[in-house]
Amino acid sequence: MAGEFELIARYFDRGPARSALLGIGDDCALIVPPNANATLAVTTDMLVADRHFFSQDPPASVGHKALAVNLSDLAAMGASPAFFTLALALPEADESWVAAFASGLFELADAHGCELIGGDTTRGPLTLSITAMGWLPEGVALRRDAAEFEDDIWVSGELGAAALSVREGLAGHRLPDEHPALGRMLRPQPRVALGLALRHLARAAIDISDGLVADLGHIAQRSRVGADLDWSQIPVSGVLDHEPMKSRQALALAGGDDYELLFTAAPENRLAIEAIGARLGLRLSRVGRIRAGEGVRVLDERGHAIELAREGFDHFA
């Protein structure tokens, strides 16, 4: 069985860093900013077994997801991914698990030119914590506090499929491998290209990890505005077609784990945003409007508020 340093050398150290001055192997990695005004965006997201993923999930998809949720945060700021570190707690040195985990991790990392430059490896309950870093030009970050009165509210992709998988898994009815909703839970696609394209078009942005209504609530609160969503415009995933209306609403509006981008933009940018959707081959839906006041309302076709049992996910609620 491999020791800590063999595991690192075998599965995580891929030789001298290309994008950093110094990568894996010393006490710290060393990063040189590309220019004097470059802004570094830094984010950490942790995945705990049987809380953020199921222990029986394929290890390659756990590797993918551990990085994907971090790249999604970079995307939501409009940052260009550059580096990440990986803190890993493993119950045992299960080499076949680590090898598959690393393959899923590096496949996504390489697709986004994001380099592993350090980390920590220890024994403990299966936990993966990644800190990802990306660059932004000065002053263009898509912040949660930047929404303005009468902005349009947009969302990428389709909502609710990952939450359906989670619901079924928690109930002990794991969806079969070929079910399209399973991949949305196991391998979320971080919307990095969209985040970059929105740099000068969107005002506020956030990625949908907790649920559309809860995450829009974060934008509304930080921006000191209210928000109205139009249920008829929500891009509900087709895998929810057979669900009763109440559960379609719960999964699409409050389910979470979608890792789509939710953003606001001035109405004069509508055509430019639609053009980005067409260029990226990504559905972009205009789902609501920023208003005065506070809080998030979801309105049905008749303009009546839809009540949700809960707005989104909260680990301690």
Binding site for Mg ion (CB under 5 A): 120
In the chain the first and final C-alpha atoms are separated, in Å, by: 41
What does the alpha-carbon distance between residue 44 and residue 85 come to, in Å, rounded to a whole number?
9
Find the shortest distance in angstroms from Cβ 105 to ligand ADP.
Answer: 9
Q: Which is nearer to Mg ion, 84 or 263 (CB)?
A: 84
> Side chain identity at 292, as an amino acid letter?
A
Find the shortest distance in angstroms from Cβ 120 to ligand ADP.
Answer: 5
Q: Which is nearer to Mg ion, 20 or 206 (CB)?
A: 20
* Structure-block tokens of residue 307: 């009540």
Find the shortest distance in angstroms from Cβ 84 to Mg ion.
Answer: 16
Between 21 and 40, how does the x/- string for binding to ligand ADP read (CB under 6 A)?
Answer: ---xxxx-------------
Q: Which is nearer to ligand ADP, 116 or 163 (CB)?
A: 116
Tell me the Cα Rg of the chain. Answer: 20
* Structure-block tokens of residue 7: 């595991």
Binding test (CB under 6 A) with ligand ADP, winner from 78, 119, 157, 211: 119
Q: Which range binds ligand ADP by CB under 6 A, 34-42, 113-121, 126-134, 302-310?
A: 113-121
Distance between alpha carbon 248 and the CA centroid of its chain, in Å? Answer: 21
Task: Determine contact, residues 259/189, Cβ cutoff 8 Å.
Answer: yes
Binding test (CB under 6 A) with ligand ADP, winner from 20, 71, 88, 197: 88
Taking CB under 6 A as the rule, does residue 8 contact ligand ADP?
Answer: yes
> Side chain identity at 306, as an amino acid letter?
I
Find the shortest distance in angstroms from Cβ 102 to ligand ADP.
Answer: 9
What does the alpha-carbon distance between residue 306 and residue 231 come to, in Å, rounded to a whole number?
8
Task: Determine contact, residues 296/155, Cβ cutoff 8 Å.
Answer: no
What does the alpha-carbon distance between residue 14 and residue 117 come to, in Å, rounded to a whole number?
10
Taking CB under 6 A as the rule, does residue 116 contact ligand ADP?
Answer: yes
> Side chain identity at 274, as an amino acid letter?
E
When CB distances are held under 5 to 8 angstroms depending on the partner's kind, the choice from Mg ion, ligand ADP, none that residue 110 binds is none
When CB distances are held under 5 to 8 angstroms depending on the partner's kind, the choice from ligand ADP, Mg ion, none that residue 60 binds is none
Task: Determine contact, residues 209/89, Cβ cutoff 8 Å.
Answer: no
When CB distances are held under 5 to 8 angstroms depending on the partner's kind, the choice from Mg ion, ligand ADP, none that residue 25 binds is ligand ADP
Q: Which is nearer to ligand ADP, 27 or 301 (CB)?
A: 27
Distance between alpha carbon 13 and the CA centroid of its chain, in Å? Answer: 26
Q: Which is nearer to Mg ion, 42 or 87 (CB)?
A: 87
Name the helix (H) or strand (E) containing 273: helix 270-280
Give contact residues for ligand ADP (rule: CB under 6 A). 8, 12, 24-27, 86, 88, 116, 118-121
